[in-house]
Amino acid sequence: MGKLRFAMDLLEINTDLTHNTDTELEEELMPEEESQEPQAIPSLLDQVCSVLCSDGCQMVELGALVSILRAASIVHHAHHWQTVGNYGDHLLFERIYNDSLPFVDQVAEKAIGLSNNVSLVNPTTQVTAINLAVSTWYAAAGTDMVGMSLGIEGCVLDCIKETITKISSQSLLSDGLENLLQGIMDKHEEFIYLLHQRQSSPIQLQPNDNGNDALAARVAKVIKYTKLAIPDPAGALVIATLQKVIKKTRRSQTKRNSAYLRSIRKTT
């Protein structure tokens, strides 16, 4: 009797199993997975802030902005050195890194003055933060130096906007600090304009030591280009470029080059 009862129980189990599909069995056997929300990738400003101060120092955003501005200037300076065969780009990168340097000093002094925390500009952590920013940009960049500088300037603008938002949310944004940051944004928007102009309509200028014929042809093209395509301040940059080109020609050509320079000034 006991054996019969065991056989009947076994038959009932087999019957129940045949009612389940393979998929249903897998669902029953698989453990429940916890739903995981995708984590937001921290911005460059946040990453740099964590390098400078892991426990959330006051005005750490300004210290991070100092690192990012210095990193951008370093890359533009490197592009100035690395430019070969295009004297106009050589001078364009020089202008960008020279014009950006004064703001680094102003933001650094503001950071220390408002926070009374000199560690925000500690050389060791600043170098680490600068390396982080430069490495991030180079990891996403191609070989086009103008395009890379353009992308970096867009990132700098985003970081300045984020700095204003974060400091404002802490009720620490004074009128003077806001004016400073807005002024920096204005200058970097100018950099973006110049780089956009260069990217859309490149001009190649080189110092010429082999007579004035080639120089005269380039001057004529640039004058036409300046009058028809580029409003100031880009036009002023082209004229400044020509002035430097002429100064670098042979001393024996000074008189004729001066005539070309006078004609440039008359047509602008």
Please name the residue that has the structure tokens 């020509």. 242
Judgement on whether residues 231 and 117 belong to the same structural domain of the protein: no
For residue 207, being part of any structural domain is answered with no
pLDDT at 140: 86
The per-residue pLDDT for range 62-97, each reduced to its tens digit, is 999 999 999 999 999 999 999 998 888 999 999 999
Judgement on whether residues 72 and 119 belong to the same structural domain of the protein: yes
Of 200, 226, 250, which closes a domain? Answer: 200
Query: Would you state the structure tokens that stand for residue 87, as one six-digit string?
Result: 């004297």
Which CATH number covers residue 109?
A: 1.20.1260.10
Alpha helices in 19-86 (DSSP H): 22-29, 44-52, 60-82
pLDDT along the chain (268 residues), means of 10: 51 50 52 57 94 89 98 97 91 95 96 95 96 94 90 96 96 96 96 91 51 53 52 56 57 52 53
pLDDT at 54: 80
Of 200, 233, 250, which closes a domain? Answer: 200
How far apart CA 181 and CA 178 sit, in angstroms, is 5
For residue 229, being part of any structural domain is answered with yes
Number of H helices, E strands in the chain: 11, 0
For residue 101, being part of any structural domain is answered with yes
Please name the residue that has the structure tokens 């700098």. 156
How far apart CA 241 and CA 155 sit, in angstroms, is 27
How far apart CA 23 and CA 232 sit, in angstroms, is 70
Judgement on whether residues 90 and 54 belong to the same structural domain of the protein: yes
Q: What are the Cα distances from residue 1, in Å, to 8, 102, 202?
A: 11, 99, 99
pLDDT at 25: 47
Judgement on whether residues 238 and 180 belong to the same structural domain of the protein: no
For residue 159, being part of any structural domain is answered with yes
* Domains: count for the chain: 2
Judgement on whether residues 57 and 163 belong to the same structural domain of the protein: yes
For residue 58, being part of any structural domain is answered with yes
For residue 2, being part of any structural domain is answered with no
The reported pTM is: 0.65
pLDDT at 226: 52
Of 146, 175, 200, which closes a domain? Answer: 200
Judgement on whether residues 52 and 123 belong to the same structural domain of the protein: yes
pLDDT at 252: 45
Judgement on whether residues 250 and 155 belong to the same structural domain of the protein: no
Judgement on whether residues 235 and 163 belong to the same structural domain of the protein: no
Range of the domain at 220: 212-267
